[in-house]
Amino acid sequence: MSRMVQCVVLGRQAEGLAYAPYPGDLGVRIYREVSKEGWQRWVDHQTMLLNEYRLTPIDPKHRQFLVDEMQKFLFGEGATRPEGFVPPSA
């Protein structure tokens, strides 16, 4: 049986992650409070941020921006989309 969590992203019970996807205390919090589906939503949003802002994960400023956005997306008021972003059509 899979581990269930009360997901802060989805606002309901959902299947939890198999491991902490990020190091340290933040990773532990994500493991305890974010579901697989919630984490995947963040990964999709992060990919959009990387592409739209042309971020390089090697750059410490870009990494810090992504961590800040991740915390807002998962635990805060929600992350915003870049100005002028148009999602691809399905």
pLDDT tens digits, one per residue of 59-79: 999 999 999 999 999 998 777
CA–CA dist 65, 87 (Å, integer): 21
In a domain, 89, yes or no: no
Mean pLDDT of the chain: 91
The domain tally of the chain equals 1
87 is a domain residue: no
Does the CA dihedral 32-18-27-62 come out positive or negative?
negative
Check: CB of residue 12 under 8 Å from CB of residue 6: yes
Looking up residue 14, the CATH number of its domain turns out to be: 1.10.3880.10
β-pair partners for 6: 13
Query: Which letter does DSSP use for residue 4 in this model?
Result: E
Of 63, 57, 4, the C-alpha closest to 31 is 4
Residue 44 falls inside a structural domain: yes
Q: Is 77 helix (H, G, I), strand (E, B) or coil?
A: coil
Q: What is the mean pLDDT of residues 35-59?
A: 94
Domain boundaries, position 68? 4-75
Q: pTM for the whole thing?
A: 0.86
Whether 24 is in a domain gets the answer yes
